[in-house]
Structure 1
Amino acid sequence: MISAPTYAIDKDKFIFLYNDLTAAKWVFDMEDNILDQLLVDRFMEIHHVFLSRLGRHEKGFLRKVPTQEMAKIVRGWMMLYKSTLNLLRKQYPRLPASRDLVVGKMNWSEKLNISAAGLLLIDHSSRYAEFWAERSIKTKEGYASLSFRLSFIGGYVYNEYSKMVRVGKLLVLDGFSNGVTSYDMMLFIRESGCLSESFLPEITKLGWRLEIGGKNAIDHIFQLYAKVKANDLHASSSLAV
């Protein structure tokens, strides 16, 4: 008798995966017309669950954000997360022949209609929305990028970057060991003005690190983002010809 394959996963990475899956179900289950105060209350409840799983505590910063502003950010986060998840549904649909992902006694592929192969890439989807939310709270310019980030999803650069991560050619992690998103990598390259030769020391300044990849992967990143017109930072379809 051949036993089923087993896979080892780092505890923290497992918790991040579990949180991402939980958040995905949460955004799809949330009513569209929910009142701002109730939305914020429910978000703070699920946020507390996420932090508790990681052994962390909310420092009170989010509770200082005005309810209307916080609700606006939560709704934007939900829009981004839904959009990236819908792309995963399209690229990795749950089919009779595909494998399901079961975590915590729940079949997440059944709940989210995404195969196991797609759900194992959910980190990029989650962080894509979370990076924006963090910037929206900390900077005035953050929220303004919402429409640009939405249009970037599923574009050439987004898909090519995701492919590099998926096939194991590249993985850049932030200070919390979460994957840096394609859009935020573009912002970093444009805002830092660094070259491929100085990429490693520059990302270190942000607390990022290159987990997978070498010179060829780094060079490809710069070639990839060079195709986006310099005068149009955000447009996913605006490629240099």
Structure 2
Amino acid sequence: MNEEISRRLRETAESHQPDRARMLVRIERGTTGATVRHRTPAITRSRPKAALAGLVTAGILATGGVAVAGIVAGPSPSDTAPAVPPPTVPSPTATPRPAPSASPTPTGPTQAPTPRTGSRPAPLPSSRAQNGPLWSASSMGPNNNIYWAQSDLILKTAQPLTSLTVELRIAQTGGVKNTGNWRTLPSDDFTVTVQEAEGVLVYRWVLKPGRTVPAGQHEFAAQYNHAMGARSTTADNYRVDAHTSGGPASVWGGFPATR
């Protein structure tokens, strides 16, 4: 009985032609999770036929499995799929730094500009404090300070004056600016001007025509601001020109140092 079964199995296996297409379909269904329903035979087979059928089926599956393995076997997707390069991560770009600007040259405290003094007046040949009926003396005011000054001129005449011109010349030593003037004679008798020319601030009093200056002592004063500090008076000077019944007379001189 066993030999008969073996012979039939061999003949069946040799004559079996596996249906490749059907196997592939079954395999595909199996991979996609399709459920294959098996129909239960209505008639119960006998034990020998069932055993024979089992053996035949095993042989078919063995032979078909080899064929399927040969068909299915092939390069795996991972072997044939083109390699995908990993995403390129850009390297961090260094933030450009601006070129350092040149450092400004440190400067010290700003120095006050030296005032333009212009040309100084020519010095007088010599001081002449007295001439004819005229006598003169210069001095600096008692209330002078580091910002402000007053230059005074005392004029004495032994005779009435029919003409008189008095000039006080204050050198522009820095910041010199007129702040006023006065005289002891009536203001209506004189034409007064103050102007700067050639680096000198000139105060001028001119007796008006038809007026006279009585004999006696008279005073003229020039007031002005100046740069802070002790101001030099070496370039300051005065001059007086007058006429009397006896003829012309003139006096001139400088000013003492600031106290």
TM norm structure 1: 0.21
Give the number of the structure whose residues are more often strand, by fraction: 2
- Structure exhibiting the larger radius of gyration computed from Cα positions: 2
- Greater RCO structure (CA 8 Å; 6+ sep): 2
Identify the structure with the greater helix proportion. 1
